[in-house]
């Protein structure tokens, strides 16, 4: 018996579609997700906690991992995310001081939407 996904893929995809930018970070994703699915957001925070709550795996880690995994699916509306390899941060950028306060890391993943004509399933 498989376990139920905490956040359904349909909600991830709908959130991505509602992000106004063509490239975004997990923090941009969270901003839109919280507005669209406040109850799901509350449940995620209760389960994983926010940065600064003395947890190694937080809600930002969970959602960033989900976006990474989603980008590798054939039907994804995201460009394939290039994970960190051989000291190259191709799909990462340095965080701002404000981002680091809520994210923690000096680097943050940048996800990119596929061009619109490729978004059609």
Tens of pLDDT, residues 90-99:
788 899 999 9
Question: Could you tell me how many residues make up the chain?
Answer: 121
The count of structural domains within the chain is 1
Q: What is the pTM of this model?
A: 0.84
* Average pLDDT, integer, range 43-53: 83
Confidence bin at 105 (pLDDT 50/70/90): confident
In a domain? residue 121:
no
Q: Is 49 left (phi over 0), alpha (psi -120 to 50) or beta?
A: left
Which pair of tokens denotes residue 81? 């995310």
In a domain? residue 37:
yes
Q: What is the pLDDT of residues 49-93, one digit of tens each?
A: 887 666 677 899 999 999 999 999 999 999 988 876 655 667 888
In a domain? residue 2:
no
pLDDT of residue 102: 86
**Distance separating alpha carbons of residues 65 and 60, to the nearest angstrom:** 8
Give the range of the structural domain holding residue 66, as residue numbers without chain letter. 9-113
* Average pLDDT, integer, range 5-31: 95
Alpha-carbon separation of residue 67 from 33, 46, 53, 82 (angstroms) = 12, 20, 22, 12
């Amino acid at each position: 018996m498989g376990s139920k996904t905490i956040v359904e893929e349909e909600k991830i995809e709908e959130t991505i579609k509602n992000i106004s930018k063509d490239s975004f970070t997990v923090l941009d994703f969270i901003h839109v997700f919280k507005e669209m699915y406040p109850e799901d957001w509350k449940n995620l925070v209760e389960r994983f906690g926010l940065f600064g709550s003395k947890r190694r795996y937080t809600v930002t880690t969970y959602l960033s991992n989900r976006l990474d995994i989603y980008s590798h699916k054939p039907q994804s509306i995201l460009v394939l995310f290039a994970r960190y390899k051989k000291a190259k941060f191709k799909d990462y950028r340095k965080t701002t001081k404000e981002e680091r306060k809520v994210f923690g890391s000096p680097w943050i993943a940048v996800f990119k939407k596929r061009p619109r004509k490729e978004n059609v399933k």
